Amino acid sequence: MTRPVTLFTGQWADLPFEEVCRLASDWGYDGLEIACWGDHFEVDRALADPDYIPGRRDLLARYGLQVHAISTHLVGQAVCDAIIDDRHRGILPPRVWGDGEAEGVRTRAAAELADTARAAAALGVDTVIGFTGSPIWHYLAMFPPVSAEVIDRGYAEFADRFNPILDVFDSVGVRFAHEVHPSEIAYDYWSTVRTLEAIDHRPAFGLNFDPSHFMWQDLDPVGFLYDFRDRIYHVDCKESVVRGNGRNGRLGSHLPWGDPRRGWDFVSTGHGDVPWEPIFRMLNSIGYDGPISVEWEDAGMDRLVGAPEALAFIRKLTMIEPPKASFDAAFSQHTES
pLDDT at 123: 98
Any residues with CB less than 8 A from the CB of 265 and at least 6 apart, and which?
240, 241, 243, 257, 258, 259, 299
- CA 2 – CA 165 distance, rounded (Å): 32
Angle of helix 276-286 versus helix 303-318 axis, rounded to 10: 50
Model pLDDT for residues 324-336, shown as the tens digit of each residue? 777 666 676 665 5
- CA 34 – CA 36 distance, rounded (Å): 7
Model pLDDT for residues 238-285, shown as the tens digit of each residue? 999 999 899 999 999 999 999 999 999 999 999 999 999 999 999 999
Determine the length of the chain.
337
Any residues with CB less than 8 A from the CB of 92 and at least 6 apart, and which?
74, 75, 78, 105, 109
pLDDT at 336: 55
Quote the mean pLDDT of the chain. Answer: 96
Does CATH place domain 5-328 in 3.40.50.2300?
no
pLDDT band for 322, please (50, 70, 90 cuts).
confident
What pTM, to 2 d.p., does this model score? 0.95
Model pLDDT for residues 119-141, shown as the tens digit of each residue? 999 999 999 999 999 999 999 99
Model pLDDT for residues 152-182, shown as the tens digit of each residue? 999 999 999 999 999 999 999 999 999 999 9
Tell the burial category of 38 from Cβ atoms under 10 Å away from its Cβ (0-12, 13-18, 19+): middle
Overall average pLDDT of the 99-117 stretch: 98
Q: Nearest 5°: phi and psi at 205?
A: -115, 115
Straight-line distance from the first to the last Cα atom of the chain, in angstroms, rounded to the nearest whole number: 30
pLDDT at 331: 72
Q: How many CA atoms lie within 13 A of 177 on its CB side?
A: 26
Decide: 79 and 113 in contact? Cβ < 8 Å. Answer: yes
pLDDT at 324: 77
Overall average pLDDT of the 206-216 stretch: 97
pLDDT at 282: 98
157: left (phi over 0), alpha (psi -120 to 50) or beta: alpha
Overall average pLDDT of the 93-108 stretch: 98
Cα 320 off chain centre by = 23
pLDDT at 334: 62
pLDDT at 328: 67
pLDDT at 321: 84
Residue ranges per structural domain of the chain: 5-328
Query: For the chain, what is the HEC assignment?
Result: CCCCEEEECHHHCCCCHHHHHHHHHHHCCCEEEEECCCCCCCHHHHHHCCCHHHHHHHHHHHCCCEEEEEECHHHHHHHHCCCCCHHHHHHCCHHHHCCCCHHHHHHHHHHHHHHHHHHHHHHCCCEEEECCCCCCHHHCCCCCCCCHHHHHHHHHHHHHHHHHHHHHHHHHCCEEEEECCCCCCCCCHHHHHHHHHHCCCCCCEEEEECCHHHHHCCCCHHHHHHHCHHHEEEEEECEEEECCCCCCCCCHHHCCCCCCCCCEEEECCCCCCCCHHHHHHHHHHHCCCCCEEECCCCCCCCHHHHHHHHHHHHHHHHCCCCCCCCCCHHHCCCCCC
CA dihedral 5, 192, 175, 223 (to 10 degrees): 40
Neighbouring C-beta atoms of residue 27, cutoff 10 Å: 16
